[in-house]
Structure 1
Amino acid sequence: MALLIVGIILFLGLHLVRVVAPGFRQSMIASLGERRWKAGYAIASLLSLILLIYGFGQARQVTGLLYAPPVWMAHIAVTLMLIALICLAASLLPAGHIAVRTKHPMVLSVKIWAFSHLLANGETSSVLLFAAFLAWGVVLRIALKRRERAGELKLRPFVSAKYDLYAAVIGVVAWALVTFRLHEWLIGVSPLAV
């Protein structure tokens, strides 16, 4: 469990640097240069993600159950994951209505992912992981809203509604792959095994 906690703190902490220490990023870019800062940040993010994944795998084997969610919660979680993956796809494409209306579709995607998994998983390790990511998403969204109001952050302008269609198609395909194949292959649990 300790590895999972350290992994969560490192990974989410790295992704909150701009929120908790706004000048740190700029000072690091000034001293290292933007390319070296981005490379170091990417490497640190990847290593902390690997630690988080490994720690979660280890913690799953030893932690108990905090609560036993009803079976129907898994169905809600699977449905919410469709929305999360459409939002994720929208975040990676030029802005359509989804991206413009949600403002930060990737952060929303993470929050939906975390919330849906909290509904369907009651193991201590799962609750810790998904609650941490949900809290991170909430904190980051608040910080992004403040940056928008201060004029530090400009939202992506609307480009075309066709990107909503693309996001929906990509999201549905990704959802089908994750739901019917990848989740069980990567995590060892089928989201449909209820």
Structure 2
Amino acid sequence: MALLILGLVLFLGVHSIRIVANGWRTQQRARLGEMRWKTMYSVVSIIGFVLIVVGFGLARQHPVLLYVPPVGLRHLNAPFTLLAFVLVAAAYVPGNHLKAKLGHPMLAAVKVWAFGHLLATGMLHDVLLFGAFLLWAIVDFASARRRDRADGVVYPVGTAKGDVIAVVAGIVGWAVFAGWLHAWLIGVNPMG
């Protein structure tokens, strides 16, 4: 469990710098240069991610049950995750209404993904992983929206074409991940 926690602290910590120390972040980027800052940021992120993956895998070998979710809640995870994939696609597809409305659909996707998984799982390692990501995404989304308002950021208006591309890409990504990759990478078949 210690590796999982350390990974979460590193990964979410480096992704929280803008929330807690945006001025310091700006100073460091200027002092170090954009490429060096991004390299250091990426290295810490990758180390944190690897520790999360390894720590989660180790924690799954010694599960601690906190609660047993009702079967109905477990089934709700599929539509939550589908929505999360659409939101991820919306973060990258230009000119869609989700990006125009939310500003930060990737953070909204993390919230939806983590919440859905908390409904479907009840082990301590699951609650640590998904709870940490949910809490981080809630705080980061609010912080990013506050920055947008303060900076007068306006996102481009969405189009039907952008919406269709984001939705189709999200559905295809979700189908591939839920139907095949989740079982292969994580060892759990969400469709089974």
Q: Identify the residue that residue 190 of structure 2 maps to in structure 1.
A: 191
Stretch of structure 1 that moved more, 10-19 or 26-35: 26-35
SS at match of 2:69: coil
How far apart are residue 93 of structure 1 and its match? 1.2
The CA deviation string for residues 121-178 of structure 1, in whole angstroms up to 9 with x for no partner, is: 0010001110000000110011112212221x62421253211101111111111111
TM-score, scaled to structure 2:
0.95
Summarize the alignment of residues 2-41 of structure 1 with structure 2, pairs less than 5 Å apart.
2-41=2-41
Summarize the alignment of residues 74-153 of structure 1 with structure 2, pairs less than 5 Å apart.
74-151=74-151
TM-score, scaled to structure 1:
0.94
How far apart are residue 70 of structure 1 and its match? 1.4
2:63 counterpart of 1:63? yes
Stretch of structure 1 that moved more, 6-15 or 99-108: 99-108
Q: What residue identity is the alignment partner of 1:143?
A: S
Distance of 1:173 and 1:22 partners within structure 2: 36
SS at match of 2:27: helix
Distance of 2:24 and 2:37 partners within structure 1: 11
Q: Which of structure 1's runs of 4+ aligned residues deviate more than 6 A?
A: none
Any gaps of 5 or more consecutive residues in structure 2? none
Distance of 2:42 and 2:62 partners within structure 1: 31
Distance of 1:95 and 1:42 partners within structure 2: 28
2:168 counterpart of 1:176? no
Is 1:4–1:56's contact at 8 Å kept on the other side of the alignment?
yes
Aligned alpha-carbon RMSD (Å): 1.2
Is 1:74–1:191's contact at 8 Å kept on the other side of the alignment?
no
